[in-house]
Amino acid sequence: MGNKDQTTNVRLELSTTSERAAVRRARHALATLDELHGNDRVSFNARLLVSELVTNAVTHGATEHRKHVHLLAEIVGHVLHIEVSDGGPGFLLGQDDPDPPDPGSTSGRGLYLLRTLADRYGVNDQTHRGQVWFELDL
């Protein structure tokens, strides 16, 4: 995260079994952050990006039975920082300016949305946990 000297105002952590219901659980956990209420744009973008990243984690992450998906959300100053990790091998983000997904496709929107909606984003390949993070300015 940008400035580690700031004090964390809010920290939310969720660890859930890697299954389709993990997406709903992550969205519901994020909805408990009162600091997002009243900021419709950030709230919507955060829920959408968490949904996409958790879906990717469940679909492409660690394949061992009953592995977990982990969500970390922190609000520090005027920044919402979110990490999703899945215990998988991780990946490279690839091109910085991807083409928009095919409108007729049923997949392939997650990383495009991440690049389009997040103020900052990346992959933490030092953890070897398949961790993707993003930040939204509040």
Beta carbons of 64 and 75 less than 8 angstroms apart: no
Identify whether 4 is part of a domain. Answer: no
Identify whether 1 is part of a domain. Answer: no
Residue 113 tokens read as 């949305």
Q: Which residue has the tokens 């949305």?
A: 113
Residue 40: its pLDDT value, please? 94
Give the CATH number of the domain where residue 117 resides.
3.30.565.10
pLDDT digits (tens, 9 = 90+) for 73-123: 999 999 999 999 987 766 655 555 556 666 666 566 677 889 899 999 988
Residue 138 has pLDDT above 60, yes or no: yes
The total number of structural domains in the chain stands at: 1
Spatial distance between the Cα atoms of 137 and 23, rounded to a whole number of angstroms: 23
Closest CA to 75 of 22, 128, 114, 39: 39
pLDDT digits (tens, 9 = 90+) for 32-73: 999 999 999 999 999 999 999 999 888 888 666 558 899 999
The domain of 14 spans 9-137
